[in-house]
Structure 1
Amino acid sequence: MKKHILYSIIILTLGLVSCKKFLDENNPNSINLGSYFKSQNDFDLAVNGAYAQLRGIYNNRSAWLMGEMRSDNAHYDYTPTDQAVATFSKWAIADFINDGSNIETPAKWDAAYNAISAANTILDHINDVDLAVTSKNQIIGEAKFIRALSYLELVRYFGGVPIYPRAPLSRNETYIARSSAQEVYDFIIADAKDAAEKLAPPSFPQTGRATRGSALTLLGDVYVTTKKYDLAEAVLKQVTQMNYGLMTTYPDVFQLANKNNKESIFEIQFNTGLSTPQANTGGNVYNYLPRMTSTTIITGVNTNTVTAPGGYNTPTQELISDYESGDQRLDATIAVAEGSFNVNDIFTATAVKSVVGYTPPSGKVGRPFAKKFLHAHTIANQTNDNLPIYRYAEVLLLLAESLNEQGGKSAQALPYLNQVRDRAFGAGKGTISTTDQNALRAIILHERRVELAFENKRWIDLVRTGNAITVMNAFGVSQKQRFSYLQAGTYNITQEKLLFPIPTSEIMLNDKLKQNPGY
Structure 2
Amino acid sequence: MRKIFLTLSIFSLIISCSDDFVDIKDEGQTGVGDFFKTQEDAIEATSAIYSFLRSWENTGFPAQFVFGVTGDDVEKGSNPSDASFINAYDQFTYTVSDDGVRGYWIGQWQAVNRANQVITNVPNIEMDATLKTRLVAEAKMLRAYFYFNLVRIYGGVPIYDGLPADGNYLKSRNSADEVYAFIVKDLTEASDVLPQTYPLADLGRVTKGGALGLLSKVYLYMKEYQKAYDTSNQVIALGYSLDPDFNHLFRPAGEFGSESVFEVNCDCSAAYGGSQYAEVQGVRNQFGWGFFTPTQALEDAFEAGDIRKELTILREGETTLEGDLIKKNDPQAGNTWNQKVYVPTSLNNSTCGSYGSIQNFKILRFADILLINAEAANELGNTAVAISNINKVRTRAQLADTTASTQSALRLAIWQERRVELAMEMDRFPDLVRTGQAETYLGPLGFKTGKNELFPIPLDAMNASAGLFTQNPGY
Q: Shorter-chain-normalised TM-score: which range?
A: 0.7 to 0.9
How much does 1:365 deviate?
10
- Write the deviation string for residues 154-207 of structure 1: whole angstroms up to 9, x where unpaired: 000000011111213556x21211110001001100000000111112368781
Q: Is the 8 Å Cα contact of residues 112 and 150 (structure 1) preserved in structure 2?
A: yes
Q: Which of the residues 284, 287, 295 maps onto 2:280?
A: 287
Task: Give the match's secondary structure for 1:76.
Answer: strand
Q: Which of the residues 329, 337, 351 maps onto 2:316?
A: 337
Q: Which of the residues 396, 414, 426 maps onto 1:423?
A: 396
Q: What is the rounded CA distance, in whole Å, between the counterparts of 2:341 and 2:29 in structure 1?
A: 42
The one-letter code of the counterpart of 1:413 is A
Task: Give the match's secondary structure for 1:175.
Answer: coil
Q: Which residue of 2 aligns with 1:258?
A: 254
Q: Is the 8 Å Cα contact of residues 68 and 292 (structure 2) preserved in structure 1?
A: yes
How much does 1:287 deviate?
3.4
Q: CA RMSD in A?
A: 2.7
How much does 1:510 deviate?
1.6
- Write the deviation string for residues 482-511 of structure 1: whole angstroms up to 9, x where unpaired: xxxxxxxxx142221110011112112222
How much does 1:60 deviate?
2.3
* 1:119 maps onto 2:87 in alignment: no
Q: Is the 8 Å Cα contact of residues 54 and 112 (structure 1) preserved in structure 2?
A: no
Q: Which residue of 2 aligns with 1:180?
A: 175
Q: What is the rounded CA distance, in whole Å, between the counterparts of 2:180 and 2:243 in structure 1?
A: 32
Higher relative contact order (CA 8 A, sep 6+): 2
- Write the deviation string for residues 295-348 of structure 1: whole angstroms up to 9, x where unpaired: 2xxx3xxx7x4xxxx4x3121111011111111111111021259xxxxxxxxx
Q: Which of the residues 499, 505, 511 maps onto 2:460?
A: 505
Q: Is the 8 Å Cα contact of residues 9 and 169 (structure 2) preserved in structure 1?
A: no
Task: Give the match's secondary structure for 1:514.
Answer: coil
The one-letter code of the counterpart of 1:282 is S
Task: Give the match's secondary structure for 1:198.
Answer: coil
Q: Is the 8 Å Cα contact of residues 115 and 147 (structure 1) preserved in structure 2?
A: yes
- Cα 1:204–1:466 change in 2 (3 A) is farther
Q: For 1:296-445, list aligned pairs within 5 A.
A: 299=287, 305=289, 310=290, 312-338=291-317, 352=326, 367-376=335-344, 377=348, 379=350, 381-383=354-356, 384-406=358-380, 408-425=381-398, 429-445=399-415
TM-score under structure 2 normalisation? 0.87
Q: For 1:410-489, list aligned pairs within 5 A.
A: 410-425=383-398, 429-474=399-444, 476=445
Q: What is the rounded CA distance, in whole Å, between the counterparts of 1:29 and 1:74 in structure 2?
A: 43
Q: Is the 8 Å Cα contact of residues 120 and 167 (structure 1) preserved in structure 2?
A: yes
What stretches of structure 2 of length at least 5 have no aligned partner?
Answer: 12-26, 319-323
Q: Which residue of 2 aligns with 1:360?
A: none
- Cα 1:279–1:130 change in 2 (3 A) is closer
Q: Which of the residues 142, 167, 172 maps onto 2:163?
A: 167
Q: Which residue of 2 aligns with 1:70?
A: 70
Task: Give the match's secondary structure for 1:37.
Answer: coil
How much does 1:435 deviate?
2.4
Q: Is the 8 Å Cα contact of residues 269 and 387 (structure 1) preserved in structure 2?
A: yes
How much does 1:131 deviate?
3.7
Q: What is the rounded CA distance, in whole Å, between the counterparts of 1:62 and 1:30 in structure 2?
A: 28
Q: What is the rounded CA distance, in whole Å, between the counterparts of 1:130 and 1:31 in structure 2?
A: 19
The structure number with the bigger radius of gyration is: 1
- The answer to which of 370-379 and 45-54 deviates more is 370-379
Q: Is the 8 Å Cα contact of residues 16 and 167 (structure 1) preserved in structure 2?
A: no
Q: Is the 8 Å Cα contact of residues 251 and 342 (structure 2) preserved in structure 1?
A: no
Q: What is the rounded CA distance, in whole Å, between the counterparts of 2:81 and 2:332 in structure 1?
A: 23
Q: Is the 8 Å Cα contact of residues 156 and 173 (structure 2) preserved in structure 1?
A: yes
Q: Is the 8 Å Cα contact of residues 144 and 187 (structure 2) preserved in structure 1?
A: yes
* 1:36 maps onto 2:4 in alignment: no
How much does 1:130 deviate?
3.4
Q: Is the 8 Å Cα contact of residues 285 and 371 (structure 1) preserved in structure 2?
A: no
Percent of residue pairs bearing the same amino acid type: 32
Q: What is the rounded CA distance, in whole Å, between the counterparts of 1:100 and 1:31 in structure 2?
A: 36
Q: What is the rounded CA distance, in whole Å, between the counterparts of 1:265 and 1:159 in structure 2?
A: 26
What stretches of structure 1 of length at least 5 have no aligned partner?
Answer: 18-27, 340-349, 354-362, 477-490
How much does 1:269 deviate?
1.6
Q: Which residue of 2 aligns with 1:514?
A: 470
Q: Which residue of 1 aligns with 2:8?
A: 14
Task: Give the match's secondary structure for 1:518.
Answer: coil
Task: Give the match's secondary structure for 1:385.
Answer: coil
Alignment length (residue pairs): 443
The one-letter code of the counterpart of 2:281 is Y
How much does 1:422 deviate?
1.0
Q: What is the rounded CA distance, in whole Å, between the counterparts of 2:80 and 2:374 in structure 1?
A: 45
Q: What is the rounded CA distance, in whole Å, between the counterparts of 2:151 and 2:177 in structure 1?
A: 9
Q: What is the rounded CA distance, in whole Å, between the counterparts of 1:515 and 1:461 in structure 2?
A: 23
The one-letter code of the counterpart of 1:287 is V
* 1:137 maps onto 2:133 in alignment: yes
Q: Which residue of 1 aligns with 2:18?
A: none
Q: Which of the residues 188, 196, 199 maps onto 1:193?
A: 188
Q: Is the 8 Å Cα contact of residues 220 and 376 (structure 2) preserved in structure 1?
A: yes
Q: Is the 8 Å Cα contact of residues 259 and 366 (structure 2) preserved in structure 1?
A: yes
The one-letter code of the counterpart of 1:509 is A
Q: What is the rounded CA distance, in whole Å, between the counterparts of 1:366 and 1:109 in structure 2?
A: 30
Q: Which residue of 2 aligns with 1:487?
A: none
